[in-house]
Structures are given as structure tokens and as C-alpha cells.
Chain A
Amino acid sequence: MATSSSRPVQGKIQYGAPNHERRIWLFMRLTGLVMFITVVFHLLYMHMVVGVENITFDNIDSRWSGPAGVFWRLFDASLLFIGMAHGMNGVRFSINDYVHNKILNFLLTAAVYGLGLFLILLGTIAIVLGVGGLGNLFQRLMG
């Protein structure tokens, strides 16, 4: 009974109960779809419309200022969080494919996630405080 119901039927996909890796599979597709719009826009806008040589300190400052600045900061935060989550998962897939030693696999994965979370923190600080914001904060604290 159990064997006949779990036997794959040709041409039909058998769906079992959702598990953790299936949710991650869906997560990678959904974040990929979102980033197909946001990241490709960000890439082409910054490289073809603004131009990398024009992304100066003042340029970032003006984009992050005013009412539109709130939108751009949220947009950039979405790139940071979604991009890093998708990327860290992709690196985890690669580690799982090549590193079969369980201890080494765990250490590498922990290092990638540790570094990723640290960089998300740095990026969030930059977006919240704005360009020059951390330097100004330090100057105020030093008196």
C-alpha cells in the first residue's frame, strides 16, 4: 500500500509534505523573481544611467536625502537583505556539493553565515545612518 502510493508515476510530479529544503527551493525562486526586477534595474540604472564614475559621496547623499530618499533607502535595504539571503544560500548549496566532511562543512557554512550576517549589519548601519553618518556620530560622541 505504502510503496504503491509513493511510487512515482511517469509524467506526474509527486508532491509530499512541505519540508525545510522545499521551502528554501521556493525561497530561492521567489527572491530570484523579485531580484530579476530590482537587481537588474539597480545594475543598469547605476552603470548606464548614473555611471559608476559619478557615484560619488555627494551622489549617494543626494539620492538618500529628502522624501524620495526614504524610498531609495528602503529599496537599497531590500537589495541588501534579499541579495545576501539568496547569496548565502547559494554558497551553502555549493559547500554542500563539494565539502562532504561534516565538521569542515559545518565550519565553512558557519563562517559564510557569520560573515554574511556581519556584512548585513554593516550595510544596515550605512543605510540607516546615511553617508558620513557614522563619522558624524563618532565626532559627536568624542565631543
Chain B
Amino acid sequence: MAALVASIYRGISYRGAEGQWAWIMHRASGLGIVLFLYMHIVSIFIAAIGPGPYEWVHATLYTSPPAKVLEVFLLFGVLYHAFNGMRIIIIDFFPALGKYQRTIVRIELVLVVVVLVPAAIITLRGIF
């Protein structure tokens, strides 16, 4: 656990610019997606039990206003992890592109924002 605390401290203080922040966000989004996946699988299993229990889960965990805000974090987390993962794959298989990795991180973030903004607007439309 001390290693985790030290790693978080170094992560904040290291100032490794684009590549390091891309790595931190990849890990944070990955762990967040896994936690969401746990909830997602359990709620689909509850749907297998019957409509009554599922409707309660659907209303409280997925369509309440706090859930809608968390949904935007999910959209960001999955889109970021997907696009950043593609960057990792591209640089792994074409190592020569490594020297442009800062530019590639910026292109990737633009792509994430371009997909995220309409998705977030559609998601949050209902609660305003």
C-alpha cells in the first residue's frame, strides 16, 4: 500500500507531460471501467431474476440524476481508454511513431472530445 501512495505522489509530482498523464488516465479509466462492469453484470443478472427487481435497479442505478452525471464519466472513461489504447497499439507496432507520441496524444484527446460532447449532451438532456 505504501507503494501505491508513493506512486500516486510521484505521479502528481513527476511532471512527465503528455505520455505520463496518458498512462495515469489509462490506468484510472481502466480500473473505473472494471468497477462499472461489476455493477453492469450484477444488474443484468438481476434482470434474469425478474422484471420487478430489474426495474428498481434501472431506476436507482441507471436513470436517477446522479447516475446520469456518472454516466458522462463512464462515456469519457470508455472513450478515453479505447482511443488511448489504440495509440498504445499503434506505437507498439510502429515504434518509429514514438517520436510523435505527444502529438498523437493531442490528436487522440481531440477525437475523444469530438465523440464525447454529443454523447454527453444526449445523456444530460433529460435532467435539465
Contact = CB atoms under 8 A, between A and B. Distances in A.
Q: How large is the interface on B (under 10, 10 to 19, 20 to 34, 35 or more residues)?
A: 35 or more
Contacts of B85: 32, 36
A69 interface: no
Q: Is the interface of A mostly helix, strand, loop or mixed?
A: helix
Interface in B3-60: 3-4, 7, 27, 30-31, 33-34, 37-38, 41-42, 44-45, 47-51, 54-55, 58
Contacts, number: 120
Main secondary structure of the interface of B (DSSP, over half): helix
Interface size grouping (class) on chain A: 35 or more
Interface of B: 1, 3-4, 7, 27, 30-31, 33-34, 37-38, 41-42, 44-45, 47-51, 54-55, 58, 62-63, 68, 71, 75, 78-79, 82, 85-86, 88-89, 92-93, 95, 115, 118-119, 122-123, 126
B95 A35 contact: no
